[in-house]
């Protein structure tokens, strides 16, 4: 069935380095993608989103890239900080009336001192 999945379950980076978290999706009808950050014991927190008519979108220290040809999404975090340690989820919303969020399985990012 349609799904949103992640390439790697865990990622460790040195403080100050850049982080790249990847996500693959299979639903061709997806037209809106979101990255969420979830810290331990908390609900997901919105980071950045991108619509399917865009290839790239930048926020503060974060960039999302969308490659519709290979159905791939990535989140880049610049100058990773200890506070960035969390689980990161990609999620998608497909076109149509339901327009519900479908989440991927998450990547645990650990920032090393």
Partner 1 sequence: NAGVTQTPKFRILKIGQSMTLQCTQDMNHNYMYWYRQDPGMGLKLIYYSVGAGITDKGEVPNGYNVSRSTTEDFPLRLELAAPSQTSVYFCASSYGLGQGSGYTFGSGTRLTVV
CB 109 within 8 A of CB 86: yes
Contact flag: residue 110 with partner 1 (CB under 8 A): no
Residue among 41 and 83 whose Cβ is closer to partner 1? 41
- 71/14 Cα distance (integer angstroms): 29
- Select from 22, 24, 49, 68 the one that contacts partner 1 (CB under 8 A): 49
Binding to partner 1 (CB under 8 A): which residues in 71-100? 89, 91, 93, 98-100
User: Is position 44 an interface residue for partner 1 (rule: CB under 8 A)?
Assistant: yes
DSSP state, residue 35 = E
Distances (CA, A) of 23 to 77, 100, 103: 14, 18, 11
The answer to the question of residue 103 lying near partner 1 (CB under 8 A) is yes
Q: Which residues pair with 66 in a beta bridge?
A: 73
Q: Is 23 among the residues that bind partner 1 (CB under 8 A)?
A: no
Q: Does 59 bind partner 1 (CB under 8 A)?
A: no
> Residues near 96 by Cβ (< 8 Å), separated by ≥ 6?
29
Query: What residue ranges bind partner 1 (CB under 8 A)?
Result: 4, 9, 32-34, 36, 41-46, 49, 89, 91, 93, 98-106
């Amino acid at each position: 069935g349609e799904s949103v999945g992640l390439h790697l379950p865990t990622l460790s980076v040195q403080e100050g380095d850049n982080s790249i978290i990847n996500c693959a999706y299979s639903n061709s009808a997806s037209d809106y993608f979101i990255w969420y950050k979830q810290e331990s014991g908390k609900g997901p927190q919105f980071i950045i989103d991108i619509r399917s008519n865009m290839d790239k979108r930048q926020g503060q220290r974060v960039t999302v890239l969308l490659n519709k040809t290979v159905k791939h999404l990535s989140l880049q975090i610049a100058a990773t900080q200890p506070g960035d340690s969390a689980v990161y989820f990609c999620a998608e919303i497909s076109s149509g009336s339901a327009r519900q969020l479908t989440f991927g399985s998450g990547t645990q990012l650990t920032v090393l001192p």
